[in-house]
Amino acid sequence: MEYKKDISIIVPLFNENESLPELVRRTDAAMRGEGLEYEVILVDDGSQDGSWESIRDLAREYPCVKGISFRRNYGKSAALFCGFEQAEGRVVCTLDADLQDAPEELPEMYRMIVNDGFDVVSGWKQHRKDNALTKNLPSKLYNATARWITGIRLHDMNCGIKAYRSEVVKSIEVYGEMHRYIPYLAKNAGFDKITEKKVRHEKRKYGKSKFGMERFVNGFLDLLSLWFLSVFGKKPMHFFGFSGILMFLVGGIIAVWLIAAKLVHQAHHVPFRQVTDQPLFYLALVAVILGVMLFLAGFICEMVSRTGQDRNHYNIKDRF
């Protein structure tokens, strides 16, 4: 496959007007210093601080700068998705616009993709310059959970600076808030050569962070959703059917045991409690009903899955 550029750099941004000139200047110097043909795609996610006007000015000064402007704020995933679609480079990199990650790191990440054969290179901010209580500690807990669920041994899953082989970003769909888990999406698509590179982390020079503590809760919920879809997305009956049968059997066995115990005691003239006087009987009935509902949910999900447009979408590595 022929590529028009060596490297495409996708920069999603929201109200980062002040940092854009320095960001583009440093990126241009880093790329030219290594002799790389590059493009910078600045995706304005509905900014209201004049960022789009700055992007237009920068595009006139730097021919390799391209811009995309959203009419409103859609989120980082949407910005990356549109940037990935337009990217023409052999290697596609992502970079936050706040200058906390250095664009000078990108040439080495490019070499790790091209020369070392990795599919994904993720940055690792080993020494963060953020508040320890609100950023560092929650980030460590979040990343530990992500490593456990995804099986990908990355210290900083959500680091903004990453590099991907072009085929990776063209084979995945980033939506919602799944930008945090692009390495996991890549792994599920069959690109499992994933590594990380230590990068320096700098204090924010301009503006303020656009993400609050809620991102950790949302990130955990997104991770569970992504895990479920990757494991059971094309075979939902394996989850709902098994769970339904298990609950139905447990509830049914308990109900039958209670009835049988009552009949045995009655036959031997032993004092006994009425089945309907025992709370366990009603719990057993609830389990039976839930089991049936889960089983039917599995059938419905299976029907939806089999009519999906991507039911036979597979990433083919090579052919002859």
Same domain, 258 and 177: no
Same domain, 224 and 241: no
Same domain, 198 and 259: no
Task: Read off the pLDDT of residues 212-268 as tens digits, 9 standing for 90 and up.
Answer: 556 666 767 777 777 777 767 677 788 888 889 999 999 999 999 999 988 888 888
SS3 5: strand
Mean pLDDT of 278-307: 87
Residue 255 belongs to what domain range? 236-306
156 within a domain of the structure (yes/no): yes
314 within a domain of the structure (yes/no): no
- 318 or 41, greater pLDDT: 41
Same domain, 94 and 227: yes
Cα angle: 304, vertex 308, 312; to 5 degrees: 125
Q: Which of 232, 261, 278 is the last residue of a domain?
A: 232
313 within a domain of the structure (yes/no): no
| Cα dist from 280 to 258, 265, 268, whole Å | 9, 18, 23
222, amino acid identity: D
* Calpha distance 85→250 (Å, rounded): 50
pLDDT attached to residue 318: 61
What residues contact 133, with CB distance under 8 A and at least 6 apart?
none
317 within a domain of the structure (yes/no): no
For the chain, what percent of residues have pLDDT higher than 90?
45
Same domain, 220 and 254: no
Residue 77 contacts residue 85 (beta carbons within 8 Å): no
pLDDT attached to residue 214: 63
* Calpha distance 189→130 (Å, rounded): 33
Provide the CATH number for the domain around residue 23. Answer: 3.90.550.10
Residue 97 contacts residue 12 (beta carbons within 8 Å): yes
Same domain, 145 and 259: no
40 within a domain of the structure (yes/no): yes
103 within a domain of the structure (yes/no): yes
| Cα dist from 309 to 126, 171, 297, 304, 306, whole Å | 41, 15, 20, 10, 8
Mean pLDDT of 85-112: 93
What's the predicted TM-score (pTM) here? 0.74
Q: Which of 183, 216, 232 is the last residue of a domain?
A: 232
- 312 or 81, greater pLDDT: 81
Residue 227 contacts residue 149 (beta carbons within 8 Å): yes
* Calpha distance 237→234 (Å, rounded): 9
Same domain, 159 and 55: yes
Q: Which of 232, 265, 297 is the last residue of a domain?
A: 232
* Calpha distance 26→97 (Å, rounded): 12
Same domain, 74 and 200: yes
Task: Read off the pLDDT of residues 62-80 as tens digits, 9 standing for 90 and up.
Answer: 999 999 999 999 989 899 9
Same domain, 39 and 13: yes
Same domain, 201 and 213: yes
Same domain, 114 and 220: yes
43 within a domain of the structure (yes/no): yes
Q: Mean pLDDT across the chain, nearest whole number? A: 85
> Which of 45, 36, 102, 34 is CA-nearest to residue 68?
45
Same domain, 224 and 243: no
63 within a domain of the structure (yes/no): yes
Q: What is the DSSP letter of 194?
A: E
Domains contained in the chain, number: 2
Task: Read off the pLDDT of residues 279-293 as tens digits, 9 standing for 90 and up.
Answer: 999 999 999 999 999
